[in-house]
Amino acid sequence: VIGVVIGKTDVRSFPDRKNIGTERYTFNFTIRDSPTYFINVQSWGREEYIRSLSESFRVGDCVTIENPLIQSKEAEREEKFNPVTPSGYKLLLSENHSVVKTSSCYNTDTRLLALLHLPVKDPQDYYSLGDIVANGQSLNGRVLNVLAAVMAVSE
């Protein structure tokens, strides 16, 4: 699978239920290879492997993923922490079987660069900040997708 990385989480650790007293490490990222399709990728393993893999690329890089495991996603649980994707699947990376190679999008396919700036949500599924200000009370307690732009950053 070849795609551009459009999102990435930080490395996290969890107690290993199989080996009490040790920890397993994980991080997730999302790749896109067309305007319509993108998929979440999950990686679990030893700290050295996960940190090295996470540091090997960043958002905007093109990656080639070889030998991932394809799994059905548990939409309700997984989409709390990852982008909602149009696929019913996710890719799982294994330290022993999977390989992630990075390359310049210019070397791979310049069309992938344009995908980096496309929204992952339906354009009809956004609220503008003006809508929220005008209808704030009726939207109280609802989860909303917001479309906004940063105009300035300062202290």
Residue 1 CB coordination number (10 Å): 14
CB of 26 closer than 8 Å to CB of 42: yes
* Structural domain that includes position 59: 2-115
101 in any annotated domain: yes
Residue pLDDT, tens place only, 101-132: 987 665 566 777 778 777 777 767 788 888 88
149 in any annotated domain: no
153 in any annotated domain: no
CATH number for the domain that contains residue 81: 2.40.50.140
137 in any annotated domain: no
* Alpha carbon distance 103, 2 (integer Å): 10
Number of domains into which the chain is organized: 1
Task: Quote the pLDDT of residue 92.
Answer: 94
Q: What type of residue is 86? A: P
In b/e form, how buried is each residue of 87-122, taking b as 16+ CB within 10 angstroms?
A: eeebbbbeeeebebeeeebeebeeebeebeeeeeee
98 in any annotated domain: yes
Q: Please identify which residue in the block is written with the tokens 């991932």.
A: 68
18 in any annotated domain: yes
Ramachandran quadrant class, 134 (left: phi over 0; alpha: psi -120 to 50; beta: rest)? alpha
* Alpha carbon distance 23, 39 (integer Å): 26
Residue pLDDT, tens place only, 63-94: 999 999 999 988 666 666 677 788 889 999 98
Task: Quote the pLDDT of residue 69.
Answer: 93
